[in-house]
Amino acid sequence: MTKKSAHPLDHLVLPAENLDAVRSRLTSLGFVVAPTGIHPFGTENACVFFTDGTYLEPLAIGNEQAADLAISEGNVFVARDRLYRQTLGEEGFSAVVFGTANADADHTRYVEAGLSAGGMLSFSRAFTDANGKSDMASFKLAFVSDKEADEAFLFACQR
């Protein structure tokens, strides 16, 4: 039997109706919140990064039309976010994200196990950290979920 490497916690996705309200709430609790990050498929975030590299990802819909288009094109991330919001509301906890060095292999494993939530997602976006440093971030995501579940789901994230 081959031992598989562990996938460490990468981040938690927290649906939010309004990022300004989230930013205010988290800042009042003493967290440093990064500037708004805009995804190319209609969602946006205001992340709280921890020293170990993990983070919280409060996630809002920034562009409803772009989100609708992404869902129609098979974007699992946006579709699962929409399903969560329709079922459980605009605020909460929707996804556990594990870090991976090979999202392609994870996706293949999920498909073979009958646990894939759909096609992979690869994207890049500009980001600015809490200290004002700007760069480009790229991600490759592989999704896993029980097909009947409309609550939280899991995915592997290769940065």
Q: Give the pLDDT confidence of 83-97 residue by residue, as tens digits.
A: 999 999 999 999 999
- For residue 2, give the DSSP letter: P
pLDDT of residue 132: 77
Has this prediction a pTM greater than 0.85? Answer: yes
Taken in order of first residue, the domains within the chain and their CATH numbers are 9-158 (3.10.180.10)
pLDDT of residue 2: 47
Query: Which pLDDT band, with edges at 50, 70 and 90, does 67 fall under?
Result: very high
Structure tokens at 5: 């490497």
- For residue 116, give the DSSP letter: B
pLDDT of residue 79: 94
pLDDT of residue 25: 96
Over residues 92-105, mean pLDDT? 96
Structure tokens at 113: 């196990």
